[in-house]
Amino acid sequence: MPVPSDALNVTTPDTGKRKKMSREAARRVSAKIGHLIGTEKKPRDQAIAMAYSMEESGRLGERGGYKPKRD
């Protein structure tokens, strides 16, 4: 099955399994990883896991910002 041009194959850090992620999602995750490493001084592995977790739970905004959960 051909991969759509707007999808990327990425390896998740927790399981090591490959899955498809849209380019927009990959940009959000990348921006969040950079923020966590640079600004918040998180270790690289932890920053990657946190960013993927936030993306999977729908908690990253358009530019990688964190969207707090609303009750």
Per-residue pLDDT of the chain (71 residues; tens, 9 = 90+): 444 455 556 656 656 667 788 999 999 999 999 999 999 999 999 999 999 999 999 999 888 888 877 76
In a domain, 71, yes or no: no
Q: What is the pLDDT of residue 6?
A: 57
CA–CA separation, 18 and 22 (whole Å): 13
Is 68 among the domain residues? no
**Would you say residue 41 lies in a domain?**
yes
The confidence score (pLDDT) of residue 3 equals 47
Residue-range definition of the domain harbouring residue 23: 7-56
Tokens of 37: 């490493």
The residues, ordered by sequence, that sit 6+ positions from 62 with a Cβ below 8 Å of its Cβ are: 24, 28
